[in-house]
Amino acid sequence: MKIQYPTPLQKGDKIAVTAISSGVERPLHILLEEAKSNMESLGYQVELAETVWTEEKARSATKEKRAKEFMDLYMDPTVKAIIPPWGGQFSLEIFPLLDWEKIKKMPPKWILGYSDISTMNFVYTTITGNASAHGINFVEMSAPTLDETSSGWERVLTANQKEIVTQQSSSKFQSSWEKVFKNPATGFYLDSQTEWKSLNTKETFSGRLLGGVINTLQNIHGTPFDQVENYLDTYTENEGTIWYLESVDMSAAEIYRALWQMKTNGWFKNTNGVLIGRLSGYTPTKDYQLKDVLIDIFSKENISFIYDVDTGHLPPQLTLVNGALAQVFYEKGAGKIDIHFK
């Protein structure tokens, strides 16, 4: 079977914003308003759904309301893409309430986001075989201007299936969110030199992309929504997989345990390479470092890995498409990724 790609986004298309996890508190509604204005300036229609405006108990609304709103928007033929405002903690609550059989029968549409949205995208792609996009969240589009890496979301979502979309490693990244929180809707503060890292001076590998945030993906194991083995056998047997992963506030030992669980459950079967994003809130465990974790998990399997890649909670980040065939090129601290929609 082949991965199904949404119809490329076009100017004039409607983008729906629904909070499947956290909504936006009143003091930060400026983020929604500015992002909507900026997206409309780019030529898109934007529908801000009810859940985006509220937040209580670390959720935008009840799981029932979040699930219904998502289903209604996904079933709406006038909605061409769904971009949640940002992540949160509880997107997994809505999975049992979604009608996955109905979703499978509908034409695929783009879902874009990261953090807890990656949990939704991961389950959506592995259950349906529809591509999804890991990249910038809607509220981050409130920036007056976006850097080249962040703005790549539009090139990816508007590409047709004959195109190859090339994305380069960034020149700088944002090491802290402090200035962003103090100055909402002013964009990222890219203050540190980007350097992709590897054990080798050169790396090249290819495969179908799949991944997200380790913190939340590990919770999928053993649930009815863990369809990874079937997905890998159905869609990646010939080309193999490139995993992209990152974490928030996890120690080296916690990352090791999570990756060990994924490996033991067969998730890294037929894996050609792994991209580890910049880790937010990471701490070593005594003298046990991230590089040690990656060597312990992947080296014995002859799986290549690159770390401190442009994905995760320390922007900017590449737009990586779950299910798409990708080629990764790395040399001396920099890299690029070619995405093929086939």
CB atoms within 10 A of CB 97: 14
Gap between the Cα atoms of 227 and 127, Å rounded: 6
* Prior bond of 316 cis (ω within 30°): yes
Q: What is the DSSP letter of 285?
A: B
Residue 295: which residues within 8 A CB-CB, separation 6 or more? Answer: 199
Residue 262: strand, helix, or coil: helix
CB 317 within 8 A of CB 135: yes
Q: Which of 22, 115, 118, 251 is catalytic?
A: 115
CB 137 within 8 A of CB 160: no
For tokens 């990816």, what's the residue? 156
Direct distance between the N- and C-terminal alpha carbons of the chain, in angstroms, rounded to an integer: 11
Q: Which of 142, 150, 313, 340 is catalytic?
A: 313
Q: Which residues of 288-301 are buried (b: 16+ CB within 10 A; e: fewer)?
A: eebeebbeebbeee
Active site residue 206: no
Q: Which of 132, 246, 251, 254 is catalytic?
A: 246
CB 153 within 8 A of CB 32: no
Structure tokens that stand for 98 in this block: 């979604």
Residue 251: which residues within 8 A CB-CB, separation 6 or more? Answer: 282, 283, 284, 285
Gap between the Cα atoms of 196 and 318, Å rounded: 13
- Residue 334 is inside which H or E element, if any? strand 334-340
Q: State phi, psi for 325 to the nearest 5 degrees.
A: -80, 130
User: Strand pairing of 202-213 and 164-168?
Assistant: unpaired
Structure tokens that stand for 279 in this block: 């880790």
Chain mean position to CA 180: 20
Active site residue 313: yes
Q: What is the DSSP letter of 7?
A: P
User: Active-site residue numbers?
Assistant: 115, 246, 313
